[in-house]
Amino acid sequence: MRKDAQQNRDKILTTAAKLFQARTVAEVSMKDIATAAEIGPGTLYRHYSNKNELCSALSLKYIDQFLSSCQDYLRQTTATPVAQFNHVLTQYILFRERRLQLLAFVETGPTVMDTYYRSELYHQLVQLFKRVLKPVNQSLNEVELTFQVDMLIAMLKSDSYAFQRHQRDLSQAQLGQLISHLMVPKD
Amino acid sequence: MRKDAQQNRDKILTTAAKLFQARTVAEVSMKDIATAAEIGPGTLYRHYSNKNELCSALSLKYIDQFLSSCQDYLRQTTATPVAQFNHVLTQYILFRERRLQLLAFVETGPTVMDTYYRSELYHQLVQLFKRVLKPVNQSLNEVELTFQVDMLIAMLKSDSYAFQRHQRDLSQAQLGQLISHLMVPKD
DNA sequence: TTGACAAACGGAGTCGACTCCGTTTATAGT
DNA sequence: ACTATAAACGGAGTCGACTCCGTTTGTCAA
């Protein structure tokens, strides 16, 4: 890749992140991003073939940070398996709350399947949860373990999460407890 | 409501349903629907304030049919609670598969929360699952019961379902079994 | 250093969702 | 039947996502 192209690629992401702080993702147009990054719309679209892919790339950066912080935690903790699971779950909920807008936009895009769920980092997120869930419920086989993790993640996707928070009137903590309660076998 | 208005309202839905059989939901533009229904775009939008709401209304019609057929089943069945739960679950998966496109479109819209999840019929869907899950796991309290049903529904939403089918390579039946296995307590 | 060319750029243009507003029409009260 | 009027209608117009293609530029081999 040419040097100028790489610079533009980076600049687009940082510019978008900046704009998303001031206005909602939906409010910021691709033209706004192009203008702020001092490039033409064509250039923007060559790097990220649509708004979703751009947001997806940004999300993956944040997920990367989240994964790192969890891995640091797991490296140094001496807590019980259940406590470890609950910690990661709680942190994940907090992380999602922080990036609510962006994640919601990404998850409701038509190309999510390609740019997001197939990504290496998403796979690592699944691995992280499998790693902390496995010691908590050792009776699960591989397929069941994966399935429960997928279900946990599905339940915390923007729509479902919003539904629980605002229609079911659950707090972040209550939601975490219900998930934990379902997945941690009662001896 | 004026008689002509009611006629147009109905005609829009039937016309849209017809067009969605020939082409994908995304391919059919609102203008196409308006033209086919022999009305102006303005009229279309007065009845359904956006494409999502229109699709939502159509989905709810189908959900209504699904609910009726399940209620018929429950009225006449003598199967065990577990078998009843599995039956409804299987039928729901089949129903969703049949309306995949439409439901996917509805569920990825920005206004889903208002026009879909808050609707009476969606609430009835939750009630249906609660009704068949409750006898299967009587140790659940009301909140837990609702939560598990919400989770079941979340897992079968278009994105999560597609992920399970195409990334995890699960069949409809396998998916149903995994859900059943998680929700039906092993004596 | 230079020149060939693939890669990158920019912006005008397309297409579809959605809005606005002047015109038409069903209907209710006389 | 007639008219007043609120409701409904239609389509031109706006806005934003995304595409296309003629122009510019970085880079590498000579």
Find the CATH number of the domain harbouring A9.
1.10.10.60
CB-contacted nucleotides of strand C (7 Å) = 7-13, 15-21, 25-27
pLDDT of residue B113: 84
Question: In chain B, what residues touch A112 (CB-CB under 8 Å)?
Answer: 159
How confident is the model over B102-124, as a mean pLDDT? Answer: 91
pLDDT of residue A97: 97
| CA nearest to B186, candidates A31, A66, A185 | A185
Same domain, B38 and B67: no
Same domain, A8 and A93: no
Question: In chain A, what residues touch B150 (CB-CB under 8 Å)?
Answer: 155, 160, 163-164, 168
Residue B8 counted as domain residue: yes
Hey, what are B138's tokens? 């009587």
Burial of A67 (0-12, 13-18, 19+ CB in 10 A): middle
Same domain, B36 and B119: no
How confident is the model over B104-110, as a mean pLDDT? Answer: 92
Across chain B, mean pLDDT equals 95
Same domain, A38 and A111: no
Q: Which residues have CB under 8 Å from A127's CB, separation 6+?
A: none
Same domain, B72 and B36: no
Same domain, B17 and B101: no
Question: Running DSSP on this structure, what letter comes out for residue B85?
Answer: H
Number of domains in chain A: 2
Residue B108 counted as domain residue: yes
Between residues B31 and A113, the one the model is more confident about = B31
How remote is the C-alpha of A7 from its chain's centroid?
25
CA distance B91 to A150: 22
3-state helix, strand, coil split of chain B in percent (to 5) is 75, 0, 25
Decide: A164 and A152 in contact? Cβ < 8 Å: no
pLDDT of residue B115: 83
Residue B82 counted as domain residue: yes
Res B4 pLDDT > 90:
no
Instruction: Show the domain range for A7.
Output: 1-48
Read off the CATH number of the domain in which B154 is found: 1.10.357.10
Residue B93 neighbours by CB distance under 10 Å: 17
CA distance A89 to B65: 38
Phi, psi of A15 (to 5 degrees): -65, -45
pLDDT of residue A115: 83
Nearest CA in chain B to A147: B178
User: Measured between CB atoms, which of B108, B163, B178 is closest to A144?
Assistant: B178
Same domain, A72 and A38: no
List residues of chain B with CB under 8 Å from any CB of chain A: 26, 107-110, 112-113, 117-118, 143-144, 146-148, 150-151, 154-155, 157, 159-160, 162-164, 166-168, 178, 181-182
Q: Is the CB of A143 under 7 A from strand C?
A: no
- Give the mutation candidate from A156, A159, A179, A183 for the B interface (greatest B CB count, under 10 A): A159
Res B31 pLDDT > 70:
yes
pLDDT of residue B187: 67
pLDDT of residue A187: 67
DSSP letter string, B18-65: HHHHHS-TTTS-HHHHHHHTTS-HHHHHHHSSSHHHHHHHHHHHHHHH
pLDDT of residue A1: 79
Question: In chain B, what residues touch A164 (CB-CB under 8 Å)?
Answer: 147, 150
Decide: A12 and A47 in contact? Cβ < 8 Å: yes
Same domain, A124 and A87: yes
pLDDT of residue B116: 86
Would you write out chain A's pLDDT as a tens digit for each of its 187 residues? Answer: 788 889 999 999 999 999 999 999 999 999 999 999 999 999 999 999 999 999 999 999 999 999 999 999 999 999 999 999 999 999 999 999 999 999 999 999 888 888 889 999 999 999 999 999 999 999 999 999 999 999 999 999 999 999 999 999 999 999 999 999 999 998 6
Residue B110 counted as domain residue: yes
Same domain, B69 and B155: yes
- Pairwise CB contact (< 8 Å): B150 & A162: no
- Pairwise CB contact (< 8 Å): A157 & B154: yes
Residue B53 counted as domain residue: no
**% of chain B exceeding 70 in pLDDT:** 99
Angle of CA points B133, A108, B110, to nearest 5°: 90
Phi, psi of A103 (to 5 degrees): -65, -40
pLDDT of residue A148: 98
Same domain, B172 and B82: yes
pLDDT of residue A123: 97
Q: How far is the CA of A106 from the C1' of D14 (A)?
A: 26
Q: Which of A9-18, B85-94, B112-121 has the lowest mean pLDDT?
A: B112-121
Residue B78 counted as domain residue: yes
Res B186 pLDDT > 90:
no
How confident is the model over B139-164, as a mean pLDDT? Answer: 97
Q: Is the CB of B75 under 7 A from strand C?
A: no
Same domain, B44 and B93: no
Same domain, B11 and B85: no
- Min Cα distance B2 → chain A (Å) is 34
